Amino acid sequence: MTISTSLGAAPYKAYFDRDKKTVDGFFSVIDEKTGEKIFDRFPVRSGQRAYTTTSWISGKSPIPFSSELKAPLKISLKSKPLQEDQWAGEAGIGEFWPVYNHPTRTDLIINADGLQRVAIGCHPENSYKGSAGCVVFVNDTEEQKEKLIKLSAFMESLVGVYDYMPFEVL
């Protein structure tokens, strides 16, 4: 995917408060102007349990911490999500919002040493716990599923209005 227009950043910031020892954490979105918490502490996971000590094993490790990166992360809002309107199934992932920090590609994360990860994004968790590096939204309960539907609608409301939402992994 290539960035072609310049609509700029959304006035919101997404955070993934990642546990350093597990794949678990929380996803939040905050209005940068008012400080209002649009989504607060949505349970998420990233990576596979045996690979939490490194961020750079493709397909297994969690999304890298922002402190490991040369440039800040962004969630792409350039178009509707891949696999739009699909709910996560047993092996499928449903909606997929790409995460990137490359200046022209919305599918690439690069650290300060030049190591690369591709195809990382945010999406609903399927029946397999954890992910191949993506930030996956836990949706085991009806409350979590309803919150995920609201988050999806919020993200879609930003498409075409902004290019990206700043994203930080703490």
Instruction: Report domain extents, the chain.
Output: 12-169
Q: pLDDT tens digit string along 135-165? A: 999 988 999 989 998 998 999 899 889 999 9
Q: pLDDT tens digit string along 40-94? A: 999 999 999 889 888 888 889 999 989 989 899 999 987 767 665 555 555 567 7
pTM score, whole prediction: 0.88
In angstroms, the Cα distances linking 88 to 46, 48, 54, 93, 129 are: 16, 18, 27, 4, 12
Fold observed for domain 12-169: L,D-transpeptidase catalytic domain-like (2.40.440)
